[in-house]
Amino acid sequence: MPSPPRTPRTILRYSHLGLQFVLLVTGGVLGGRWIDGRFGGGGLWTILGLALGFAAGLYVLVRETARIGGPEDRSTE
């Protein structure tokens, strides 16, 4: 299978996935830290926020890569 051409459109199409992942994980950690600071918990909420952010990022990554490689993209070959 040939790789897609390296145009700005394809580069942006894939680079947004990494940015989304990082933002979701960071948001989870920051949210967990805020809850820890507000209500206590000794880092439990931070770890939980990290896990939830990672799971959400992974979900978005898998969903978007399936959509990007879907039938509508293959019809342009």
How deeply is 53 buried, as exposed, middle or buried, from its count of CB atoms within 10 A (0-12, 13-18, 19+)?
Answer: buried
The answer to whether residue 66 scores a pLDDT higher than 90 is: no
Q: What is the pLDDT of residues 18-55, one digit of tens each?
A: 899 999 999 999 999 999 999 988 999 999 999 999 99
Q: Which domain, by its residues, includes 52?
A: 19-66
Count of domains in the chain? 1
Q: Could you tell me if residue 71 is inside a domain?
A: no
Residue 75 lies in a domain: no
pLDDT tens-digit map of 2-18: 666 778 877 787 788 88
Q: What is the pLDDT of residue 22?
A: 95
Q: What phi-psi label fits residue 4: left (phi over 0), alpha (psi between -120 and 50 degrees) or beta?
A: beta
